Amino acid sequence: MKLFRREPPLQVSEEPDCHEVAEVLQSYLDGELAAHDAGRVAEHLEHCHRCDIEATTVQQVIAAIQRQRPALDDATVGRLTGVIDRLVQPGEPPRPAP
């Protein structure tokens, strides 16, 4: 379950470096990258021990949080997502919830 909506990531270059992989890592782990971009990130993770450790750590943190978090119904998720969307509108001050 995702509460935050991220902008679609930029395309991943042919041979991404560690910095580029770090920028798209969360989208990669959430399955949000296009197949060819996900493949490039996966290949980088296979060859870069440092980035692979970072990806594994992020996955472990997410799993720990999910084990501790109570299940939220769709209506609650919708309300929370709406609040977040209102807070992150670029160039607009946050508005109170209706």
Per-residue pLDDT of 17-32, as tens digits, reads 999 998 899 889 988 8
Round to whole Å and give the CA distance between 54 and 98: 40
Interior/surface letters 40-71, b for 16+ CB within 10 angstroms, e for the rest: bbeebbeebeebeebbeeeeeeeeeeeeeeee
Give all domains of the chain, ordered by start, each with its CATH number.
18-87 (1.10.10)
Dist. CA 15–CA 6, nearest whole Å: 23
The residue among 53, 23, 56 whose CA lies nearest residue 40 is: 23
With 0.85 as the threshold, say if the pTM is over it. Answer: no
Q: Does residue 55 register a pLDDT over 80?
A: yes
